[in-house]
Structure 1
């Protein structure tokens, strides 16, 4: 059995929830339909003509990419210009395109964690905080006979996370009363007669971003026709998410030695470097994509170097004067996501017993040549 398009995307959004994306980021389904069976998925960094030809060769029904193919609202769709031809080819071959961008950068176990791990950063924290989880308290009342069923449903859906602990809850016994009205079909009792039932009160923490998923799981597992529950905000901070990572290296390295680690582990042949190559690097920052705006936050958090891409001339000059090292490995180092996302997706599809195949794009979309 092949996975439906929406099922594939649910797996992707489990890895990189959409609510983590920065405002106005162009993410989600950008072209095509998910209302179909997906026999083949292609994971790519960018979507250009070569990647689309590759998708056609592998018979992909869906491309999951990091960089958007539609950046601004379209005023027209002309098929005699390069982007119009690209859209036309995708539509003619019924290939949908889904984008996971800053949400994949920010999520725990996503782009910036992969890059941090590759260069040896330990226990990295966000370089620039973008999103702090709002926490809610869920209270639900359930008959004792179905207590474990409902409790497991909400906890397995993601409720009950406190720091590095999961499946946290508090459960108390009590008596619930209700009077089924006319036309009801109560699970316990009968219409027109007041009923007293031994019930359990379940209390747990719910992250705001997945509240709907948790409530749906709770209602599905609950035996009552009308579920009695409360969901209210807490004056507590949940997890903090952000772009980039900063932390100590596994072992101190000279800047020149760290350059070699970056080149080898992020698969780049050339980098641009700012700073004294002999200096010792103990704490490093990393940020996939364009990093000029994040050099100062990296300095503020005590990093000796930032590994990123697309550093402009004046930012490099300012960093040099401030004693901050930079390794500009280019924007294309984000290609690390291709194999990582494919590995994740294969595991999820396998667990769902789907036959959908996942392919890693072999196209090098680096636009620059180094001579």
Structure 2
């Protein structure tokens, strides 16, 4: 069965047209079955009991209230404040799960819990795709791989393939070959510094961190492995010339360079954020056919910065 037709939604979600449209669109882009459910928490994490809708517009005129979907990596208090300035937004898609472990309370004294309570009170639902979007074909890791090329038209000499195959018991149609991370080879070897320059442009960054084998400041690179976020466990054992991820531990870096590999680190969410504007927003707009108004947060950013 096609992944675009196999999603069953509850009556309350069906009644919320924006949320239902978003979930069906995301089911085509990144089915939740692709997520690593052994530790991740994905999907609809907060369903607003009284969602924002056109009926919320007291003017009586035709309204787009409720049609808005706001994209971010992390649902911080700053992102929520941004959302609350726009009454048409009824759904937030935050890549990282705002509920990761079980909550024993819901109080206003905790910033995370206060954010959830405020969303519910304001009629805003929250959906999180996380590792389903990592594993999916055309997802974040494929976008990272594209940024390693000299131009969009350049071909890979070895096409991107998962570093780890998906653990899903059934792979949805159209997502054959899904999995965590990607390894691939460029058409021609390049100096590491050239690869760094390409990635800084692709990710919109002024600075990245680089680790290289002893005595090699800018080694030649052709085979590359990428993993959005924290890639130490996914990339471990991969024999590519260079690894790209957001963050790794000190000892993982030492092991990689001792094995002759170069490593490029960008900070965790910097491997993920650019995908929202470059790929996810236009894809959602295409699939929704005008039923969604998609925006991307302007205040969402990695918590670490270089000073």
TM-score by length of 1: 0.67
Instruction: Name stretches of at least 5 consecutive residues in structure 2 with no aligned partner.
Output: 1-15, 54-65, 150-154
- Structure of greater Rg: 1
- Aligned with residue 25 of structure 2, among 11, 22, 26: 11
What's the secondary structure of 1:79's corresponding residue?
A: coil
TM-superposed deviation, 1:88:
2.2
Q: Which residue of 1 aligns with 2:141?
A: 112
What's the secondary structure of 1:298's corresponding residue?
A: coil
115-124 or 55-64, which deviates more: 115-124
Change (3 A) 1:357 1:34: farther
1:81-92 alignment runs, 5 A limit: 81-92=110-121
1:214-293 alignment runs, 5 A limit: 239-275=176-212, 276-293=216-233
Distance in 2 of aligned mates of 1:85 and 1:7: 27
Q: Which residue of 2 aligns with 1:235?
A: none
Distance in 1 of aligned mates of 2:123 and 2:167: 36
Change (3 A) 1:133 1:77: closer
- Given that residues 64 and 98 in structure 1 are in contact (C-alpha distance below 8 angstroms), is that contact kept between their aligned partners in structure 2? yes
Change (3 A) 1:10 1:262: same
Distance in 1 of aligned mates of 2:297 and 2:227: 22
Q: Which residue of 1 aligns with 2:75?
A: 47
1:119-268 alignment runs, 5 A limit: 119-120=148-149, 122=156, 123-131=159-167, 134=170, 209=172, 239-268=176-205
Query: Aligned residues, how many?
Result: 264
TM-superposed deviation, 1:132:
6.3
Point out 4+ residue stretches in structure 1 off by more than 4 angstroms: 34-37
Q: CA RMSD in A?
A: 2.1
Render the CA deviation track for 1:286-325: whole Å, top value 9, x for unaligned: 11010111333322xxx10010011111111111211111
What's the secondary structure of 2:102's corresponding residue?
A: coil
Q: Which residue of 2 aligns with 1:336?
A: 274
User: Which one has a larger percent strand, Structure 1 or Structure 2?
Assistant: 1
- Given that residues 4 and 35 in structure 1 are in contact (C-alpha distance below 8 angstroms), is that contact kept between their aligned partners in structure 2? no
1:317-336 alignment runs, 5 A limit: 317-333=254-270, 334-336=272-274
TM-superposed deviation, 1:133:
6.4
1:368 equivalent to 2:307? Answer no
What's the secondary structure of 1:131's corresponding residue?
A: coil
